[in-house]
Structure 1
Amino acid sequence: MNDTDTTDLNGTEQEETPSLEAELARAKSLSVESLADAIESIGFECTRCGACCTAHHEGDDEQKSEYNDEPDSVNAAGSDTSRDDNLKTDNSVSTVDSGHVDHSSQIADQTQTVDNEGQKEHHDMTTQSASTEPHTATVFPDEIRELQTATDDIGDDPVATGDGDGQASTEWRDVARPMPYGLDDENETGTTFEWALQTNACGDCVFYDETDGIGSCQAHDDRPLICATYPFSVALGGTSQPMGEAVDKAGMVRAHECEGLGRDISREAAEELAATLRTRAIRELNEAISLRDAYEPTGDTDGIVVHDSEGAKRPDGTAIDN
């Protein structure tokens, strides 16, 4: 029997969900070369279409994907159905689509927990129509601060709202917003885990820009790890998966819906992407462990409470003292 096996009352051996620490050890043992082999076999080239940076609008799934240059074999969601049928469900810590991890199971031993899974449909609709789902991608506290600094260094600052008094002009809320899962319909109260990149009135990432149909990121060099590794993830519990279920897989690598899949990728680019993907897996698991260990219920605190790896915070990033 291994460390993840248990025995029920009938003596039947059952497999237990691996701990975050066990998954972290697996992440650290990942081979960049093997990950690069997987990425190379799947194939990828960014087409700068902007789909991974913008809001999802009702009806988008009805448009055919150019994935693998085989439109007749791709279903309405942009997934190759023959590939989907062969995908297996990973027995690991639960994940939620759109780059978000469900941390509720990781802190189940606390006196109070929030079940984000049951709140998946509560999205930020204050500025979008009911048929629009805002872009949602996980960003960690250190990444938020890096984006604040990077945005201050951009000449034509796209998001800063400060008063130019010598302090950082880009505020926390300019860069990030509370993950919408766990908040009420008006996004005025609730408890949630982690942060998402801030969006504009259209639901697009606040750093996304488009000129003549070509998309670009105004913070490309400092973009979060989940953006730098899109559309890939690794099959480890406690890590996030972008944009829903995987449409292809190779080894430990999962590929998610993107029109750039199936295109040629150089070995150098595959290895660079693989190294970043490994770094992201390790980072996400370290953050998940820190979040679990730092979690303390905030009692009757009014408004929105965001729990991250540094503790409980307000939407503006300030700490809540318990």
Structure 2
Amino acid sequence: MQSLEAELAEARSLAVDELADAIETIGFECTRCGACCKSEADDPHTATVFPDEVRRLQGAGDADGPTADTEESDAEGARDWRDVARPMPYGLTDGPDGPEGETFEWALQTDACGDCVFYEEDDDGVGACGVHADRPLICETYPFSVALGGTSQPMGEAVDEEGVVRAHECEGLGRDIDRADAESLAAALKERAVRELEEAIGVRDSYEPRTVDAGTVVVHDSEGAKDADGRPLDAAGRDDER
């Protein structure tokens, strides 16, 4: 098994035109069905979002638009961290006051139905992203991923594969795609693979086990340990408050 550093070097060497060739061969056109934005069989939507993507989404689009249940904001006109992201649920347990424990990375926030909080649907059932221009890389590149260790496979195992490009369940697969669109998608796919590996290395290098009090959550990302609200635990006074 290669080290994360070796996988990162391989990701950085990926040829965008070859990725675009693979995407063209598989074929794809978004049908705006919204399946990739919604929960599945009572399993809430889970899409990994990087810390800097969370901060970008805090001020993206209409900050008074789709949000989670909290109405707090970090600054005037900005969403609260918890309106954008939640701790990745894997590794957490259900305590008397809600989830508790240690976990790694952030997932996009969900609404009461388990769908992405930024997902919108018109009266005809056509889906749209409320922050499309600022959507995370994992959303921009779905239903594709790169078959390298340390990169994620969104929405389960691959249903098709061409070279290092994996395709995941989506009704838009197999449709013709314009070359320019394939190249744009390929460039984003390479960027995402690089970012995921850089994030994995950052998490590994910054990780320090924490004693987690009952009823609290600690999230480890590439920037260090954080509260569930995104605030660093090692910021002045934070650890003393716990």
Q: Same fold (TM over 0.5)?
A: yes
Match of 2:196?
284
- Which one of the candidate residues 181, 190, 200 is aligned to 1:269? 181
CA offset at residue 262 of structure 1?
Answer: 0.3
Is residue 2:198 matched to residue 1:198?
Answer: no
Is residue 2:49 matched to residue 1:139?
Answer: yes
Structure 1 CA distance for aligned equivalents of residues 8 and 133 of structure 2:
26
Match of 1:318?
231
Structure 1 CA distance for aligned equivalents of residues 8 and 78 of structure 2:
36
Match of 1:107?
none
Matched to 2:58, the amino acid is Q
Structure 1 CA distance for aligned equivalents of residues 151 and 120 of structure 2:
28
Provide, for residues 276-296 of structure 1, a one-character-per-residue CA deviation record: whole Å limited to 9, x for no partner: 000000011011111110101
Match of 1:154?
62
- Which one of the candidate residues 162, 170, 184 is aligned to 1:250? 162
- Which one of the candidate residues 73, 81, 89 is aligned to 1:180? 89
SS of equivalent to 1:203: coil
Residue identity over aligned pairs, in percent, reads: 67
Provide, for residues 119-161 of structure 1, a one-character-per-residue CA deviation record: whole Å limited to 9, x for no partner: xxxxxxxxxxxxx0000000010000000011xx417522272
Is residue 2:25 matched to residue 1:45?
Answer: no
Structure 1 CA distance for aligned equivalents of residues 75 and 223 of structure 2:
26
Q: Which runs of 5+ in 1 are unaligned?
A: 1-16, 58-131
CA contact (8 A) 2:145 2:189 kept: yes
Q: Which runs of 5+ in 2 are unaligned?
A: none
Matched to 1:201, the amino acid is A
Matched to 2:81, the amino acid is W
Change (3 A) 1:210 1:314: same
CA offset at residue 173 of structure 1?
Answer: 0.4
Change (3 A) 1:155 1:305: closer
Matched to 2:94, the amino acid is D
Matched to 1:141, the amino acid is P
- Which one of the candidate residues 307, 317, 320 is aligned to 2:220? 307
* Structure-1-length-normalised TM-score: 0.69
SS of equivalent to 2:183: helix
CA contact (8 A) 1:33 1:271 kept: yes
Structure 1 CA distance for aligned equivalents of residues 212 and 44 of structure 2:
29
Is residue 2:130 matched to residue 1:218?
Answer: yes
Match of 1:27?
11
Change (3 A) 1:155 1:133: closer
Provide, for residues 12-33 of structure 1, a one-character-per-residue CA deviation record: whole Å limited to 9, x for no partner: xxxxx10000000000000000
Structure 2 CA distance for aligned equivalents of residues 216 and 201 of structure 1:
18
Match of 1:10?
none
* Structure-2-length-normalised TM-score: 0.91
Matched to 2:51, the amino acid is P
CA offset at residue 169 of structure 1?
Answer: 3.5
Structure 2 CA distance for aligned equivalents of residues 155 and 288 of structure 1:
30
Largest Rg, 1 or 2: 1
CA contact (8 A) 2:46 2:107 kept: yes
CA offset at residue 300 of structure 1?
Answer: 4.3
Matched to 1:316, the amino acid is D
Aligned length: 229
CA contact (8 A) 2:86 2:108 kept: yes
CA offset at residue 299 of structure 1?
Answer: 2.4
Match of 2:80?
171
